Amino acid sequence: MLPSGLKAEKFAAYPPEARRLATANLQALQQLPLSFVPGLLRELIDYDFKFPTERDSIDRELINLRALSPKEIQSWFDEFSKLSLSSKLETFDWVNYPSQFVEQESAHLWTTHQLDSFRKAATNYGDRLRAVSPVVPLPMRRLGIAIIGQGVDKYEGQLFRNLRKHGTCFRQLNPENGLDQLLAAAAVRAKAHPVPYGHWYVDGGQPADHDPILTLVQYRALEPVRSALLTYMEKEIAHPGMGPEELRTRLARLLPSDLGMDKAGDTVLDRFQVRLFTEGSGTQIFSTAFTQWTARECLRRAQPLTLVVRYAPRQRQRPMNELLSSSHANGDLDPTESLIDGDMGGYYQWINQQRLPGSEQSSFLVWFEGHGEALAIGPSLPRGAESNSNIDLAKLLSLALS
């Protein structure tokens, strides 16, 4: 079936809000090429389980598509229309399985040497969409905090190497009650602008006391989910002919209920947490990989105003078969190497934060937990500088946000 043959009943299996949007925008969808529509439906089919910023993005895109004249549609999607797809793809149930269609489409485009053309078409479409999308001002300056080195008594190496040229390194901080001060500051921001999923606390171990107004993701509390997933992966890998692509496809289909998550929970957050394990690399094994990936996906999808990320010691490296085995889920911890992981994770967090709107005014702080060393980035702080000021974390955060 081609998009021109779409009918409202084709979306009967979609969740309520996704079905409502699809049917309301049926006329616009019918005018688009097959090489494009399933990619849009891949996002739309999960609309009910997406964060507010993601929903807003889909809403704006659909509003724009409805507003395009036939001539404008031809101009916007001419490059997509020129792509040649196979009869197998044309007969695929791309309405109900858009993700699987996109995977098969990617393979087809690659084997037929059309992938570069598709990438160019997608880039041009994205540029056009951004050009007509209004810029919504943030209610407050975006803030990212990375807390690294939990459990490390002493470290002789240089920290924050990749971030030093972007901010000021403080060497004589007063670390007392530093964690409490940072979490309290995050809670104050959340209460000042209580945006749904706008203020997060991600912890790679046991979280500290915090205000429940913060959206919490904690690695330790997800241990049953992780164990269930590792058991599932062990069984699937044992099947003859099971390859990485097929395993990836099966993991992508898992729902929170498949891994024993409480049906009475937050459906949006539960879906997000499951995908952290099923889509991330190493998140099922190492707490630092989980923490870093969570920060990345949180920034990419939820685009929070406040994100506090705290790294905890991960297990030591062992042979891969042992790491993947659910019977070896807990091993000896490696605080020093986890500090190095967290240091790099903090750098990645800052990079991903800078990709979001308002980056020129955003602030960032990374702190060696329990120690007097931190680095702060903010519009008023000098770059590539060092300071021996004897201040606490609350004062330093105030400087970064000034």
**The Cα angle at residue 95 between residues 91 and 99, in degrees rounded to 5:** 95
280 belongs to a structural domain: yes
Q: Say whether both 109 and 191 belong to one domain.
A: no
- My answer on whether 128 and 149 are in the same domain is no
CATH code at 241? 3.40.720
**Nearest C-alpha neighbor of 29 from the set 63, 3, 58, 64:** 3
Same domain, 149 and 100: no
Q: Structure tokens of 51?
A: 């964060």
Clarify whether residues 278 and 194 are in a common domain: yes
**Residue of 287, 322, 294, 330 whose CA lies nearest to 309:** 294
* Interatomic CA distance for residues 396 and 402, integer angstroms: 10
> CA–CA separation, 143 vs 402, rounded Å?
12
Same domain, 313 and 164: yes
CA 200 to chain centre: 12
91 phi and psi, to 5 degrees?
-95, 0
How many domains is the chain built from? Answer: 2
Q: Is residue 231 part of a domain?
A: yes
Residues 238 and 348 in one domain: yes
Q: Coil, strand or helix: which one is 35?
A: coil
Q: What would you report as the CA-atom Rg of the chain, rounded to the nearest whole angstrom?
A: 23
Give the pairing type, strands 306-310 and 199-203.
parallel
Instruction: Spell out the per-residue pLDDT of the chain, length 402, in tens.
Output: 899 999 999 999 999 999 999 999 999 999 999 999 999 999 999 999 999 999 999 999 999 999 999 999 999 999 999 999 999 999 999 999 999 999 999 999 999 999 999 999 999 999 999 999 888 889 999 999 999 999 999 999 999 999 999 999 999 999 999 999 999 999 999 999 999 999 999 999 999 999 999 999 999 999 999 999 988 888 888 888 777 777 887 888 888 888 888 776 799 999 999 999 999 888 988 999 999 999 999 999 999 999 999 999 998 765 555 555 545 455 688 999 999 999 999 999 999 999 999 999 999 999 999 999 999 999 999 999 999 999 999 999 999 998
Residue at 321 is within a domain: yes
Which of 90, 107, 132 corresponds to the end of one domain? Answer: 132
Q: Which domain holds residue 206?
A: 143-401
- Residue finishing a domain among 69, 101, 132: 132
Pick from 132, 157, 179: which residue ends a domain?
132
Strands laid side by side in the 143-148 sheet: 215-218, 199-203, 306-310, 143-148, 363-368, 374-377, 168-170, 385-387
Are residues 317 and 268 part of one domain? yes
Predicted TM-score (pTM) of the model is 0.90
Cβ atoms of 349 and 163 within 8 Å: the answer is: no
Helix (H) or strand (E) holding 22: helix 16-24
Are 128 and 216 contained in the same domain?
no
284 within a domain of the structure (yes/no): yes
**How far apart, in whole angstroms, are the C-alpha atoms of residue 392 and residue 174?**
5
Q: Answer yes or no: is 137 within a domain.
A: no
271 lies in the same domain as 382: yes
CB atoms within 10 A of CB 335: 15
pLDDT of residue 251: 84
Say whether both 88 and 175 belong to one domain: no
